């Protein structure tokens, strides 16, 4: 199973042709991304299927897991490595039963530690908290304090994902607070050099961060 620690690269909406999106994912993986999430709000079903299949081909070839955002049926249809569920995306327990024990199941928990504990009981592979900083991708998401990661670390035995406005300059703070993965969209995929951007985040996990 994929080691759930490091950069968690989340694809941008409307990323163009499947081959282009696959090339972006390959560049992020070349920069050290340990997990890829396909997130594409508003795309037509046929577009979503084609893009997801292209991403899965790259991820399989490079031995990196692909998680599908918000769409269990798509994840099952293409044989993705797992799914990520938000508040309105279905029951994590049902998703675990349908995916099987080996799949990756991620759950958004915002700033809600009780939701994270419920997700753990339902079979989540990781729980995600945030947004921690101002984010164009999640402008309406509830804010979370880095101290939440420490509280979660004390109560959960799952990898913790931090998301929301994370940069190479502030990501170290979240790793020090307890984050195992930094989930990033535009910080990686909007960069002129995707591989270099990914490397900047990946480097944070090998550096000694301030306590």
Task: Enter the pTM of the model.
Answer: 0.93
Average pLDDT value for residue range 173-196: 97
Domain, as residue range, for 75: 6-204
pLDDT for res 211: 40
Give the model confidence (pLDDT) of 127-168 as tens digits.
Answer: 999 999 976 665 565 689 999 999 999 999 999 999 999 999
Give the model confidence (pLDDT) of 104-137 as tens digits.
Answer: 999 999 999 999 999 999 999 999 999 999 766 6
Q: How many domains are there within the chain?
A: 1
Would residue 12 count as lying in a domain? yes
CA–CA separation, 182 and 171 (whole Å): 7
Would residue 24 count as lying in a domain? yes
Is 11 within 8 Å of 38 (Cβ atoms)? yes
CA–CA separation, 114 and 96 (whole Å): 19
Select from 92, 57, 187 the least CA-distant residue to 133.
187
Helices (H), 31-140: 45-61, 72-78, 92-99, 113-122
Would residue 163 count as lying in a domain? yes
Give the model confidence (pLDDT) of 73-99 as tens digits.
Answer: 999 999 999 999 999 888 999 999 999
Would residue 209 count as lying in a domain? no
Would residue 211 count as lying in a domain? no
CB atoms within 10 A of CB 119: 26
**Token code pair at residue 170:** 């502030």
Instruction: Kindly state the helix (H) or strand (E) to which residue 84 belongs, with its residue range.
Output: strand 82-85
pLDDT for res 14: 85
Instruction: Kindly state the helix (H) or strand (E) to which residue 8 belongs, with its residue range.
Output: strand 6-10
pLDDT for res 2: 57
**CATH (domain of 144):** 3.20.20.70
């Amino acid at each position: 199973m994929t080691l759930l620690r490091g950069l968690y690269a989340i694809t941008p909406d409307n990323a163009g042709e499947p081959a282009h999106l696959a090339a972006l994912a390959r560049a992020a993986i070349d920069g050290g991304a340990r997990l890829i999430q396909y997130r594409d709000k508003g795309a037509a079903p046929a577009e979503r299927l084609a893009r997801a299949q292209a991403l899965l081909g790259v991820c399989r070839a490079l031995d990196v897991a692909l998680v599908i955002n918000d769409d269990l049926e798509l994840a099952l249809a293409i044989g993705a490595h797992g799914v990520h569920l938000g508040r309105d995306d279905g029951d994590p327990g049902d998703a675990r039963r349908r995916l099987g024990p080996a799949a990756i199941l991620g759950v958004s928990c915002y700033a809600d530690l009780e939701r994270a504990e419920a997700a753990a009981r339902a079979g989540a592979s990781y729980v995600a908290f945030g947004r921690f900083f101002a984010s164009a991708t999640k402008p309406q998401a509830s804010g979370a304090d880095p101290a939440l990661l420490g509280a979660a670390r004390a109560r959960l035995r799952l990898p913790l994902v931090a998301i929301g406005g994370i940069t190479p300059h502030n990501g170290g703070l979240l790793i020090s607070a307890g984050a195992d993965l930094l989930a990033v969209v535009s910080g990686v995929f909007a960069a002129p050099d995707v591989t270099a951007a990914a490397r900047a985040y990946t480097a944070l996990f090998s550096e000694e961060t301030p306590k």
